[in-house]
Structure formats: C-alpha cells, structure tokens
C-alpha cells in the first residue's frame, strides 16, 4: 500500500445526502461526498459537493476546507457572513453554529478531525 493518496473522484462512488429536514431553511440541496481517507483517531479527508440551498450547521468536529468551485456563504450565529469562492479556505472549529448557503453548486476538499 502506498503512503500517497491522490484525490480522484472517479475512483470512488460518492455518498449522497441532504440536510436533515429540521435543519433545512431554503431550497432542496443535495450533497455528494467522496471520502478518500479514514484514519485512526477520527481523521477524514475527501471532497464534498452541494447544490443550492440553505441549512443550519453545528460542528462538534474541527474542519479545514478549500473551495474548488462555486459560491457559498457561511454565517456564524451572532456573527458576520463569509462569502466563499474558488480558492478560498476556511477552518470551522468545534462549537461553530450557524448557516451554510450555497448560491452556486459548491465543491470543496476537506480534512476533518473528530
């Protein structure tokens, strides 16, 4: 087994999903997730994509992500909104609560630590 792993969406079937109904605010967003790595200690890495819509988010985990394409707005409860476009990166820490709004289908790569 190699110690190098290329993120290649054509090599993995994506998991499909959507926000939980009680978190949905607007639209009918759909998710696709290509999870390439699950390492000991609760570390995950992959690619996530969502179609337009808006929903509530609440993080128990730590996540770094980099936007590959699309436009989204992440807004922290009681805070400011952050517009995200291709090339932008962000970290969401445990305890983050707010909303995620996809204006144009958005794809990001991510690393999550539980």
pLDDT in tens, 3-48: 999 999 999 999 999 999 999 999 999 999 999 999 999 999 999 9
* Mean confidence (pLDDT) of the chain: 97
For 14, 16, 38, 98, 113, the CA distances from 92, given in Å and listed in that order, are: 23, 22, 19, 11, 11
CA atoms lying within 13 Å on the CB side of residue 42? 6
Task: State percent of the chain over pLDDT 70.
Answer: 99
pTM of the model: 0.95
Provide the CATH topology of domain 24-105. Answer: Jelly Rolls (2.60.120)
Domain edges within the chain:
24-105
Residues in CB range of 82: below 8 A, 6 or more apart: 73, 74, 75, 90
pLDDT value at 1 more than 80 = no
pLDDT at 2: 87
Q: What angle do CA 72, 69, 7 make, to 5 degrees?
A: 120
Percent of the chain exceeding pLDDT 90 equals: 96
């Amino acid at each position: 087994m190699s110690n190098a792993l290329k993120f290649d969406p054509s090599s993995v079937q994506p998991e499909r999903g959507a926000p939980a109904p009680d978190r949905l605010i607007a639209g009918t967003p759909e998710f696709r997730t290509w999870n390439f790595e699950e390492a000991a200690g609760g570390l995950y890495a992959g690619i996530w994509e969502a179609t337009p819509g808006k929903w509530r988010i609440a993080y128990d985990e730590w996540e770094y992500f980099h936007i590959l394409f699309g436009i989204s707005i992440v807004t922290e409860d009681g805070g400011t909104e952050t517009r995200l476009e291709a090339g932008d990166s962000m970290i969401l820490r445990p305890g983050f609560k707010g909303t995620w709004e996809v204006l144009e289908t958005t794809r990001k790569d991510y690393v999550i630590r539980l």
